[in-house]
Amino acid sequence: MDKNTIIGLVLIGLLLIGFSYFSRPNEEQVAAWQRYNDSIAVVQREEEALRAKTAAALANEKAEEKIDSTSTFFPALQGEESFTTIENELVKVVLSNKGGRVYSATLKEYYNQEKEPLVLFSDKDASMNFYFYNKTGALQTKDYYFKPINQTANSVVMRLIAADDSYIDFAYTLLPESYMVDFSIKATGMEDKLSSTTNYIDIAWSQRARQQERGSTYENRLSNLSYKLTSDDSDHLSESKDEDKSIEGSRLDWIAFKNQFFSSVFIADQSFEKGKLKSRMEQQGSGYIKNYAAEMSTFFDPKGNEATTMHFYFGPNHYKTLKAFDKGRDHKWELDNLVYLGWPVVRQINQWFTINIFDWLSSWGLSMGIVLLLMTIIVKIVVFPATWKTFISSAKMRVLKPQIDKINEKYPKQEDAMKKQQEVMGLYSQYGVSPMGGCLPMLLQFPILMALFMFVPSAIEFRQESFLWAADLSTYDDIIKLPFKIPFLGNHLSLFCLLMTITTILNTKFTMDQQNTGQQQVPGMKWMMYLMPVMFLFVLNDFPAGLNYYYFISTLISVITMIILRKTTNEEKLLAQLETNKSKKKTQKKSGFAARLEAMQKEQERLLQEKAKQNKK
């Protein structure tokens, strides 16, 4: 790649960066567009949805006598909002009598950035509204005041009263030493006040997800609206853009409003149907990262013979905590899918290897930085046999470099590239060297190395854990703060990210030296190999310090390993061994693959010679 080409690429890159930077809308324009999307259109959709729900309920009541809905819950129309608290060792849940809903959830063993108990949501952050139906329309629980009864430290019944012998109970029970709240709905004496043929209730649930972490950029990447299809896998809406999705014809086990490390999950034993899910991005700096909303229906018996049973989970995205809820259950919830552990193969490695080793090391009482260091060393030991095979494969080709150089001198012209390649492959075949010998070991170790890379950002154990200069391993370590913003980099520089970039450049140099076998490289490849680590600096600068620390330690160990292997490998002995292999190979019958490869090369050479003769004519 010549100087003019490099200058041209740099200028094009600067032009694209400048255009994207100066043409982007300002914060006022973004806010105005957001308000436009979330105002009239949203109200119209909500009104249309309510009319559709009412029409569906009325269709079931055409043959029944008209019921006066104005007096159904008349005693509950007036009141003042009051609050009831249920709690255990882990979580405190506050319930409001207005709508009988969960008003707030606070986690006692986790803290926000001000070192106060972490509040998942409170007040206007969240809402939940249930729709019951009678002949004339929908009865919305948000319009009524419930009466708390049978209250204990960890349970309460919120009663919506129609008459002394007619009511609907919302029963909440916070399980001991758990983040799970059992929730049931049961009607009593409501046969003549509700539609007897409408065996479902509609639910509208929404929540603005608070920004709980210091680095909102990365928190956004792991925050989404997730859901699980009954007898199927879980899925989620986009983390990076607004998205709406209707789940038609499928049932849902649960819906989760997920942050990076915490979730609010709504679970239905009788499943959710007709799910309509919505996720919206929140404006940066607002204190929120996402705005979630879900509409769905579930089973309801207006005669009160059977209760509607559901559950809330207000707690951390901790793999084993979530996995434990499937113990003893015939139908698995699979809430552990809320913890992102990578692609299927990588996830299996994390589930069976990484998490168990991590928990074992954590039980020693070591700091998270030391645990991560030991984890990295263990992973490197596990993949060392593959690393050794890759190194030896490259070393064998490197010791043959003088002979490869002679072949390059023999065929200096571009039109002789095919002949040169054939002779190089023939040379490798004579010495029993495979150019692809290091690829398979490298592919085998890749999922194991990636497993820890995927595990660290999702592991809540690193949250608010300090190590060296990093105050919190779950977010970036901005030891260098800038008075201005650099496009794609931001206004800070993560020291672990910088160290990772430097060690990656060193590792690139050693790797390229190791793989210098005398064969010609694609023009500009060397320049690109050094450019990639610099790009990592921009990509990973906002990533968690723990992740960059792992990447730094892992790469540093790779550099040290490469240096030790180079110093301890006697290349003269290796070449002598290859010469011995060559002598033995002459007396051995060629393998089927080698014979076919040689035949193909000869046939290709024959065709090239015939083509050259035709061109001369």
Percent of the chain's residues with pLDDT above 70: 76
For residues 89-115, give the mean pLDDT. 96
CA distance 505 to 510: 9
Looking only at the bridges linking them, the beta strands covering 117-121 and 126-134 are: unpaired
Report whether pLDDT(376) > 90: yes
CA distance 244 to 276: 7
Q: Which of 61, 60, 54, 103 is nearest to 82 (CA)?
A: 103
pLDDT at 36: 46
Binning pLDDT at 50, 70 and 90, where does residue 3 land? very low
CA distance 288 to 279: 13
Binning pLDDT at 50, 70 and 90, where does residue 215 land? confident
Which position has the higher pLDDT, 53 or 395? 395
- In the numeric block, the tokens 């050259």 are attached to 612
Report whether pLDDT(58) > 70: no
> At 453, which helix (H) or strand (E)?
helix 439-458
Non-local CB neighbours of 402 within 8 Å, separated by 6+ positions: 518
CA distance 333 to 313: 12
DSSP 8-state symbol, 66: P
For residues 482-507, give the mean pLDDT. 87
Sign of the dihedral defined by the CA atoms of residues 48, 312, 277, 269, in that order: negative
Residue 525, token pair as written in the block: 């490849």
235-271 pLDDT, tens digit each: 999 999 999 999 988 999 999 999 999 999 999 999 9
Report whether pLDDT(54) > 70: no
CA distance 393 to 399: 10
13-47 pLDDT, tens digit each: 555 455 445 445 555 554 545 554 554 455 455 55
559-594 pLDDT, tens digit each: 999 888 888 887 777 777 777 766 665 545 555 555
Rg (CA), the chain: 33
Domains within the chain, CATH numbers bracketed:
27-340 (2.70.98.90), 350-574 (no CATH)
- Contact at 8 Å (CB) between 259 and 240? no
CA distance 188 to 165: 7
Contacts within 8 Å (CB) and 24+ apart, 26-29 = 27/283
- Contact at 8 Å (CB) between 477 and 495? yes
pLDDT at 408: 72
